[in-house]
Amino acid sequence: MLVRILREIGSKRKIDILLTTHNPALLDALGPEIVPFVVVAHRDKETGETKLTLLEDIDNFSKLFASYSLGDMTTKGAIERSLSHNE
C-alpha cells in the first residue's frame, strides 16, 4: 500500500521521491523497474569512508538479480559479499 501511495503522489505531482529502507518486503514491493535507481550505501574497509554504489554497477549484479529478489539480496548478505569482492 505504501509503494502504491508513493507512486500515486509522485505521478500526480510530477516529482521523484527519495526513499531509504532496510526492509526486504518494501524492497521487493518496489519491483524490478526500480533497480536502475537503487543506490547502496556501504563502508570502504580500508579507509572507513562511506561509499554510494548503484546496484547495477556491482560486478556480478546480473547473476545476483537472477538468483535473488531485491529483499533477499539484502537479507542474505549477497550485496555486501559482492561489494567486498569489488574493493
Helix, coil or strand: residue 75 = helix
Q: What is the pLDDT of residues 71-83, one digit of tens each?
A: 999 999 999 889 8
* Three-point CA angle 3, 6, 51, nearest 5°: 80
How confident is residue 63, by pLDDT bands cut at 50, 70 and 90? very high
Over the stretch 3-47, which tens digit does the pLDDT of each residue have? Answer: 889 999 999 999 999 888 889 999 999 888 889 999 999 998 889
Q: What pLDDT score was predicted for residue 62?
A: 92
How far is Cα of residue 61 from the mean position of the Cα atoms in its chain?
11
Residue type, 25: A
* pLDDT value of position 86: 61
Q: According to the model, what pLDDT value does residue 3 have?
A: 87
pTM here? 0.77
